[in-house]
Chains A and B, each alone.
Chain A
Amino acid sequence: MNLLSKVSIQAQAMAREIDDETVILDLGSGTYFGLDAVGSRIWQLMTEGATLGAICDAIVATYDVSRSDVERDVLELARSLLARKLIDVS
């Protein structure tokens, strides 16, 4: 997985936005977790088929954070979602 990777959301992930945050229900395991506002924006961009690099561009443009921090956080979230089988990577 790298910044050129594009992710696709797996069918077992069911997400619901609430305010500017997101709750994701993993239908495969029956578990669920929440994403804060930044995590929610990353998830939304993933659902739109953006590459991880493009997602980083969008986050940097919106929030006052360093590029390196954003890349680290985006890759970490993507790895976590991949480990839960909630996304697939191409």
Chain B
Amino acid sequence: MRKLRPVAGVELHIASARTQAPFDCGPLHEWDSPDPEARTLLYRTNTGYLVRYPALADFEVACEGTSVRYWPVPGVASELIPFLYANQVLPFASARRGRVVLHGSAVEVGGAGVAFIGGSGRGKSTLAASFATSGYRFLADDHLIIECTGAGENLIVPVDPSIRLWEDSRQALMGGAVHGAQTSAGTPKAHLPAQGGIAFCPESRPLRWIGFLGADESEGPEIQRMNRRDVVIELLRNSLFLDNEDRPWLAAHFNRLAVIAEGTACYRLDYPRRFDHLRNVRSAIVGHTRVGAEPE
């Protein structure tokens, strides 16, 4: 089984295998898992949170997100576990450490980061993959992590070097079989590691602008400025790992979203969701970045 990837800022403790004891109370949340084979249950503990993948693994995340303790279930060595750790547990720990984690993807254009935010099915992964297979690099897919540095700059922090694509997108962008591609049982999305034809940027990049993906209602690429109030609402809508019972954290998160909205140029980005339009969409995005998307 692939090892759990170490990450700066998070102490990882691997404990002995143990059976998953039931909780007296129900979960705080049940999250959408990045893999439909694995349910994700979140419980509050005395020291933080427990992320439980039933019959697979438990991860206890300290309240401040600075440490994670991992208990495998006896006799289970699933390849899903490192994937779930990298794609859900670590982003959750990032959120607890004060980073903003959103449902989005991001690419690098001219040394800067451009983020695409929107709900499931809006084309975030396909758009990021189209850049990553056309001479650019992607920074994130599915979980977009933004760090507000407090120095007037917001950074996109790279997450896991992999992209998940529907089969039609994979065929359109990459043609034949991709080395290392894995399809989780029960899902038509392929999990593509960054290698060969998919370029990944492993360093943080300054966030230049955010495109909130529209609903495929335009005839060509459209990039329209948004007002800051609507930006905060969209950032809230696409925020991950909110704990409504942790008021201080939530107030701080709300403030971070306002900081992002005040310091980042944000636009509604819409385009026809057709593969033969992606080249034009990329050109429009690259052109907009180079002309100088600036906050008001």
Encode B232-257 as 1/0 by CB contact (under 8 A) with A: 11001100001010010011001101
Residues B251 and A23 in contact, CB atoms below 8 Å apart: no
Q: Find out whether the CB atom of B228 lies under 8 angstroms from the CB atom of A21.
A: yes
Neighbouring B residues of A33 by C-beta, 8 Å:
233
Q: Does A89 contact B (CB under 8 A)?
A: no
Partner of A16, one of B227, B230, B247, B254: B254
Give the distance to chain B from A15, nearest Cβ to Cβ, in Å.
9
C-alpha spacing A64/B247, complex, angstroms = 38
Question: Do the beta carbons of A19 and B236 come within 8 Å of each other?
Answer: no
A62 to B230, CA, bound (A): 24
In the bound complex, what is the Cα–Cα distance between A62 and B148 (angstroms)? 36
A32 x B229 contact (CB < 8 A): no
A30 with B228: CB separation less than 8 A: no
Q: B residues bordering A, Cβ < 8 Å? A: 227-230, 232-233, 236-237, 242, 244, 247, 250-251, 254-255, 257-258, 261-262
Q: Could you mark each residue 13-43 of chain A with 1 if its beta carbon is under 8 Å from any beta carbon of chain B, else 0?
A: 0101011011101010010111010000000
**Interface class of chain A by DSSP:** strand
Give the total number of A-B pairs whose CB atoms are below 8 A apart: 44
A34 lies within 8 A of B230 (CB):
yes
Residues of B within 8 A of A22 (CB): 229
Name the contact of B228 in the complex, choosing from A14, A19, A32 (C-beta under 8 A): A19
- How far apart are B32's CB and chain A's nearest CB, in angstroms? 15
- Do A27 and B247 touch across chains, with their CB atoms under 8 A apart? yes
Nearest residue in A to B259 (C-beta to C-beta)? A18
Q: Which residues of B sit under 8 angstroms from A27, Cβ to Cβ?
A: 244, 247, 250
